[in-house]
Structure 1
Amino acid sequence: MNSDTGSLKRKAVDDAAPQSIQAPRRIKALDQVVINKIAAGEIIVAPVHALKELIENAVDAGSTSLEIVVKDGGLKLLQITDNGHGINLEDMPILCERFTTSKLKSFEDLNAIGTYGFRGEALASISHIAHLTITTKTSDSSCAYRAVYSDGKLVPPKPGQSADPKPVAGRQGTQITVEDLFYNTPSRRRAFRSPGEEYSKILDVVGRYAVHCSGVAFSCKKFGDADSGICTTATASVIDRIRRIHGSSVANELLEFTTSSKHLGFEATGMISNANYHVKKTTLLLFINHRSVESSAIKKGLENVYATYLPKGGHPFIYLSLEIEPHRVDVNIHPTKREVNFLHEDEIVAKIVETVEEKLAAVDTSRSYTLTQTLLPGTKPIQSSSSDDTAREIKANDTKARRKKEYEYNMVRTDNRDRKITTMFENPPTNKSAGDSVEYETNHDSTWTLINYTTIHSLRASVRDSAHTELCELFQNHTFVGIIDDNRRLAAVQHGLRLYLVDYAAVSYELFYQIGLSDFANFGRIVLDPPMGVRDILEIAVEEEKAKGEEGDFDWESAINTIEQLLLSKRPMLKDYLSLEISEDGSLVSIPLLLKGYMPSLGKLPSFILRLGPNIDWTSELECFDTLLRELALFYVPEKLPSVSADADDGNDARRKELGRMVETAIFPVVRKRLIAPKTLLGAVTEVANLKGLYRIFERSC
């Protein structure tokens, strides 16, 4: 063997040297501190687990209000304040020792446990891996007491001070402050990469208990923030709590259900989303005997039911509270109590799944396709003279027998991110309105003037205060389908699986008024070339009024003179605030540009100029600005075109196409981004169909 090969082998033991024989290691009891830290690592895996234990303790203590403050995802600070019955001073020395509890005396008591906590390990575990401070006051105590704990024992707040609880001022209840979580286990602390991710997990668990714990108010926020991530009141109903935490889109589509069985010893209640709502991931808020847990069997069973009703990739929202006789439940199978075992699991899950399936089938078997307003209560239906608007109820024979899975290619859905084929052949916006001979050009100032007028801020605040939540959500997430009637100015839009008729004139009016408020004194300009005389414009407006047969004995000549002089005297203000420029010789040079790509009908210009006289309150700043912007919004509302039958041969097809293009590509995309829909628009929106039901009708007829 050469030397190179030999160098790669292990060296042989020298025969002359005696080979050492290692004795087996002795078994020793671990130090109690090590035992406690190992146990703490099993129970408190992350900040959210510590908070879950603290929430359950607070609710067990009879609290009706919980305030939670978090810093750095709970790693730096985790504080929970409740108004429960507090902790007796005599119990504070052993409060954080392991297996100290007021809820369990013997092992047999586990068969009848009716509280969240029972092992007495939560506070003990936290004290071994964080700096723990507890301030508490009972109803019969004259003051509160504050104590600091470390490794399960009372410790002095500062070196040289006493470790005994210190009397302090405080309110009824308990405040638990956890600081520097995992400070003495650096490997565990380094595993948490993102405080934001941990805070999201905290909001999730707080949201779960906030939905479930009726009669308890919850508040959770980041340290130093004025706004709360979650905030619910004690008197709020379950559906109101779901609305506050998970949004109106799911709260508006919930079905309540309940089922029970004396033989199986359970009762289940909850809320489930209907077939109109679906998300990418199932949201299951599951509580068994009021403890937030997980169950793969329940989740899988419910998802299988919804697979029949939802499109491919769609998942439901489910809140389920399951109460089982305590002696049938084993709550002590998981260190964090995340899971439980219970008798007759398969039978109970099957009963719940069957109830949910019947509930969804009952909603789907009968649908009415009249002009209804189920999503937007308070709306008034748009009247129609067609006999087809009468109510028709279509019933299924046996939904369960005929039910089959709907694949994606069987569902016709739209998405606001999809590009329509009509937009691929668009011509650039023209500078001429059909039938007009005036040239236009747009001009945008590169600088932005900051407006600090109290009146403008007040008008903007009024718009925000008048917002209607469901309407705002509809317009922000709608998909434009098309113009249905340009004479009545109706358009169809889709939101989710619902189809609506929208009065786009009313919507446009609100949009342009709000654009006027937000862009006040910063409008672009539509330049008239050549300029038009204000007096000429007023005379045209007067002729239009006379043609209506409403002139009577009115002195129109005097009115023209008065309005002309008024507008000439307001030239600087109109130019600075509205970009409406009038020359010294009385010619209209430019009008405001509110929306790029949209040209208002110049056929409405004479009426607009005429109304600037009598319809504007020039004596009050707020009223002046408000009426000016409302008249401007009215001018910008899309014109009402003659009906197709009366307009067959008069050349209005070009105007109709241009108007349709501007409504679809200019107005409604801005509606989605900028409109704050007020309550006054309720009458302009009418639900005409639930597309989920229509798909099923078409399916049955095939």
Structure 2
Amino acid sequence: MGDRTVNDGPQVGSPRAGGKRKAEHDAENDRPVRRIRALDPGVVNKIAAGEIIVAPVHALKELIENAVDAGSTSLEILVKEGGLKLLQITDNGCGIQRDDLSLLCERHTTSKITTFEDLTSISTYGFRGEALASISHIAHLTVTTKTKDSSVAWRAHYLDGELAPPKPGQPAEPRAVAGRPGTQITVEDLFYNVPARRRAFRSPADEFNKIIDMVGRYAIHSKGVGFTCKKAGESSNSLAIQAQATVNDRIRQIYGSSVANELIDLHSSDDRWGFKADGLVTNANFNIKKTTLLLFINHRSVESSVIKKAIEQTYLSYLPKGGHPFVYLSLEIDPARVDVNVHPTKREVHFLNEDEIVEAICKDIETKLAAVDTSRTFMTQSLLPGAATPVKEPPQQANGDTPQAKAEIIGSARRPVQNPNSLIRTDTSERKITSMFGPVNGRNTSPSPSKAQQNKPLSVPENIDYATVDRDYVQCRLASVKSLRSEVRCSVHTELTEIISSHSFVGIVDENRRLAAIQGGTKLYLIDYGRACYEYLYQLGLTDFGNFGTILFKPPLNLRDLLRVGVEADKPAFLQLDKGGVEYAVEKVARNLIQFREMLQSYFSLEITPGGELKSIPLLVKGYTPPLAKLAVFLLRLGPKVNWAEEKACFDTFLKELAKFYVPEPLPAVPGGDGGQREEDIDPEVKARRQHVRWAVENIFFPAFKARLVATKSLMDGGVLEVADLKGLYRVFERC
């Protein structure tokens, strides 16, 4: 048989068997250790090109931006096979100098910036010098250009970032040709050397639709620039916009009259945040299944999920369920506040104070929508109860039909049928629920209020004087504050937040128990507005940390006298300090507040002099004065209730005490109600305070809840109660 060796599989100790490797095995049989090497420049350039030019539409976007930067007033775009076979753009801009053509497609060659610091003031579309370089590495690129003072045009071919001969054997230098002023860039066989990327595209039709969408966006935004775009071989243009067309006309040509007829102008700005916004948004008469957002930041087409979601939330109260708006928004921000170099395709940018800017824009959109909504009128016909049905028929026309009958038939055919149990309240100016409450317990047996009560307004704004001070906005970078903000976000109750963000305010139900009614969809809720205000004011303290306004006291108040009043009003807080009587407690709290007075003034606008005089307290909400009757208790509680030893705990406890101070106080029951006092027994100051609180709750706090409140799980626990469901009530009535 001979000697044969049988391989029965991995042996014990073999690496494949999972055994322990020997040192000599590692040295003799293992592959050599891989060394770090620099990639070939050609590989590096192809990798960069794949990041910047993801699809034909991205190549076209870069070419459009370069053409507009060159001062063009006319752009002609030609596309073949979705841009994969041919992508050509011709403009009438300033052109390119012949001597610059050799550098045109080298990476990071640009006329826009010279130093890195220039990025903080960039005001052009392109700035990195990578677009043409990237295209030349994944396509055949031809550039034909003529400047104003040149007698001929120059044509150059590029491959892998360098000048290339048009045909083998010919020189690579640019050659003179006939041409008109401007530049024509031709991109052929895109991704010819990246077959995996080329096979990934679904169809040329899909890519062409993306190109038309991108051209349409820049056509709407680029005032004074004409655009044409068509497929190669077709005689008619797929898109044609005249240079003199207005923004409305451009939207009408691209998106249709159904959008253009329902547009309202939007203008918003705030020097504090360094922004200016202009645009056109659709009103409540128009809605589509998916939001169309044309967003430009410093004239660059970008995407922002934050802005898009905020705008959709704003429209929730005005559009039917499932409806979305059309929005064109041009946002100009101080270039020093914008980081434009955060995305390879420049699709996204980052900027400071994003939340504040988005909130200001959405607030202005809501104001515009509300103004349009209140001005809408409808022709209605009503039949009074008990009135006889008219028997006189209008004269008939020859065909037996009247124009009025025809209009009624057409109108009824087009009017959608709405189920009554799905109707929701949309006009917050309608009758409030409190006007339906009648007197009880025999205090006022008249069926309707007296004329004096009818003429008395239920809510009145406060007459407050404000002065503007020149103070720079402070960017909060404290880790402790950021951690507290994160904790709020982590405790969010998503469903309740959505209800509050789209609610309709119904009315204040009970000022003594601080209850208000709101409608969310087809449901009616009672909400403890005291707890809701506490949540909102605490979150507002975190958001505006270090940037509070001030409420000045002239003359200043004596801190120790206030603390003595607080001792009488809040015995539990006093007992935590009582080791030597009232004066001991007052002096302890006063010394503590004076010791931290610089921090209190810097972060919270609470100014206390070294001698113990209170000069100012924080201003959290404009148009609303906190209950100053609670000021003494607030100052006293800053002693035992605030943790002064640790930074995060100090800020947390202080803001909670500040929020408690600002929360509207419970007020006596309405005269004539259950347990209410008589009208003549209520102090005039309390009556005025009731009017001010009612106005602030309806016109300041609940609109702020709608825009900014993050409803937490603690608010859901006893703070909100569902009291009625329209659909459930209909089921009850159906059984009766």
TM range (shorter): 0.5 to 0.7
For 2:322 and 2:222, how far apart are their aligned partners in 1?
A: 31
For 1:120 and 1:277, how far apart are their aligned partners in 2?
A: 42
For 1:238 and 1:84, how far apart are their aligned partners in 2?
A: 22
| Contact residue 67 and residue 219 of structure 1 kept, 8 A | yes
For 1:91 and 1:335, how far apart are their aligned partners in 2?
A: 25
For 2:404 and 2:118, how far apart are their aligned partners in 1?
A: 75
2:134 corresponds to which residue?
125
CA-to-partner distance for each residue in 1:161-197, whole Å, 9 max, x for gaps? 1111010000010000000000001011010121000
For 1:99, the aligned partner's letter is: H
How far has the Cα of 1:310 moved from its partner?
1.1
How far has the Cα of 1:219 moved from its partner?
0.5
2:476 corresponds to which residue?
none
2:410 corresponds to which residue?
493
Matching residue within 254, 271, 279 for 2:263: 254
| Contact residue 136 and residue 173 of structure 1 kept, 8 A | yes
2:34 corresponds to which residue?
25
**After superposition, where does 1:375-390 map in structure 2 within 5 Å?**
none
CA distance 1:10–1:94, change in 2 (3 Å): farther
Aligned: 1:313 with 2:230 = no
1:68 corresponds to which residue?
77
How far has the Cα of 1:21 moved from its partner?
3.5
| Contact residue 261 and residue 267 of structure 1 kept, 8 A | yes
1:58 corresponds to which residue?
67
1:45 corresponds to which residue?
54
1:293 corresponds to which residue?
302
CA distance 1:100–1:42, change in 2 (3 Å): same
For 1:274 and 1:294, how far apart are their aligned partners in 2?
A: 22
CA distance 1:494–1:172, change in 2 (3 Å): farther
CA-to-partner distance for each residue in 1:303-327, whole Å, 9 max, x for gaps? 0011111111111100000000110
For 1:220 and 1:24, how far apart are their aligned partners in 2?
A: 55
CA distance 1:157–1:486, change in 2 (3 Å): closer
**After superposition, where does 1:411-430 map in structure 2 within 5 Å?**
none
**After superposition, where does 1:439-518 map in structure 2 within 5 Å?**
485=402, 489-493=406-410
**After superposition, where does 1:635-674 map in structure 2 within 5 Å?**
none
For 1:100, the aligned partner's letter is: T
For 2:13 and 2:237, how far apart are their aligned partners in 1?
A: 71
Structure 1 stretch 110-119 or stretch 484-493: which is displaced more? 484-493
For 2:202 and 2:161, how far apart are their aligned partners in 1?
A: 28
For 1:484 and 1:316, how far apart are their aligned partners in 2?
A: 39
For 2:191 and 2:278, how far apart are their aligned partners in 1?
A: 39
For 1:85, the aligned partner's letter is: C
CA distance 1:31–1:365, change in 2 (3 Å): same
CA distance 1:126–1:487, change in 2 (3 Å): closer
| Contact residue 276 and residue 497 of structure 1 kept, 8 A | no
| Contact residue 53 and residue 122 of structure 1 kept, 8 A | yes
1:101 corresponds to which residue?
110
Matching residue within 332, 338, 341 for 1:332: 341
**After superposition, where does 1:143-222 map in structure 2 within 5 Å?**
143-222=152-231
Aligned: 1:35 with 2:44 = yes
2:96 corresponds to which residue?
87
Aligned: 1:264 with 2:181 = no
How far has the Cα of 1:9 moved from its partner?
5.9
CA distance 1:30–1:360, change in 2 (3 Å): same
1:274 corresponds to which residue?
283
Aligned: 1:239 with 2:248 = yes
| Contact residue 277 and residue 496 of structure 1 kept, 8 A | no
1:303 corresponds to which residue?
312
How far has the Cα of 1:241 moved from its partner?
0.1
For 1:333 and 1:48, how far apart are their aligned partners in 2?
A: 19
For 1:70, the aligned partner's letter is: V
For 2:149, the aligned partner's letter is: D
| Contact residue 47 and residue 74 of structure 1 kept, 8 A | yes
Matching residue within 347, 357, 360 for 1:348: 357
For 2:330 and 2:415, how far apart are their aligned partners in 1?
A: 30
For 2:97 and 2:346, how far apart are their aligned partners in 1?
A: 27
For 1:237, the aligned partner's letter is: T
SS at match of 1:281: coil
CA distance 1:307–1:237, change in 2 (3 Å): same
For 1:207, the aligned partner's letter is: G
For 1:493, the aligned partner's letter is: I
For 2:96 and 2:188, how far apart are their aligned partners in 1?
A: 21
Long gaps (5+) in structure 1: 1-5, 372-385, 389-482, 500-701
For 1:143 and 1:106, how far apart are their aligned partners in 2?
A: 34
How far has the Cα of 1:8 moved from its partner?
7.2
- Computed over aligned residues only, the root mean square deviation of the Cα atoms, in angstroms, reads 2.8
CA-to-partner distance for each residue in 1:541-560, whole Å, 9 max, x for gaps? xxxxxxxxxxxxxxxxxxxx
How far has the Cα of 1:489 moved from its partner?
4.7
SS at match of 1:357: helix
How far has the Cα of 1:366 moved from its partner?
2.8
Long gaps (5+) in structure 2: 1-6, 16-21, 384-399, 417-729, 731-736
Aligned: 1:138 with 2:138 = no
For 1:295 and 1:494, how far apart are their aligned partners in 2?
A: 41
SS at match of 2:324: coil
For 1:105 and 1:496, how far apart are their aligned partners in 2?
A: 66
How far has the Cα of 1:367 moved from its partner?
2.3
CA distance 1:160–1:347, change in 2 (3 Å): same
CA distance 1:302–1:489, change in 2 (3 Å): closer
TM-score normalised by the chain length of structure 2: 0.50
How far has the Cα of 1:23 moved from its partner?
3.1
For 1:257 and 1:487, how far apart are their aligned partners in 2?
A: 39
| Contact residue 51 and residue 78 of structure 1 kept, 8 A | yes
How far has the Cα of 1:38 moved from its partner?
0.5
1:461 corresponds to which residue?
none
Matching residue within 106, 119, 122 for 1:113: 122
For 2:210, the aligned partner's letter is: K
How far has the Cα of 1:345 moved from its partner?
0.4
CA distance 1:497–1:306, change in 2 (3 Å): farther
For 1:357, the aligned partner's letter is: E
How far has the Cα of 1:349 moved from its partner?
0.2
CA distance 1:19–1:489, change in 2 (3 Å): closer
SS at match of 1:259: strand
For 1:295, the aligned partner's letter is: S
Aligned residues: 390
For 2:412 and 2:121, how far apart are their aligned partners in 1?
A: 49
CA distance 1:172–1:492, change in 2 (3 Å): farther
CA-to-partner distance for each residue in 1:12-57, whole Å, 9 max, x for gaps? 6499988523332111111111111100000000000000000000
| Contact residue 485 and residue 491 of structure 1 kept, 8 A | no
For 2:88 and 2:200, how far apart are their aligned partners in 1?
A: 22
For 1:495 and 1:342, how far apart are their aligned partners in 2?
A: 51
For 2:260, the aligned partner's letter is: A
1:571 corresponds to which residue?
none
How far has the Cα of 1:159 moved from its partner?
1.0
| Contact residue 484 and residue 492 of structure 1 kept, 8 A | no
For 1:190 and 1:41, how far apart are their aligned partners in 2?
A: 14
For 1:313 and 1:260, how far apart are their aligned partners in 2?
A: 30
How far has the Cα of 1:226 moved from its partner?
1.2
For 2:151, the aligned partner's letter is: S
CA-to-partner distance for each residue in 1:461-501, whole Å, 9 max, x for gaps? xxxxxxxxxxxxxxxxxxxxxx99478654543599989xx
For 1:205 and 1:146, how far apart are their aligned partners in 2?
A: 27
| Contact residue 276 and residue 496 of structure 1 kept, 8 A | no
For 1:247 and 1:326, how far apart are their aligned partners in 2?
A: 34
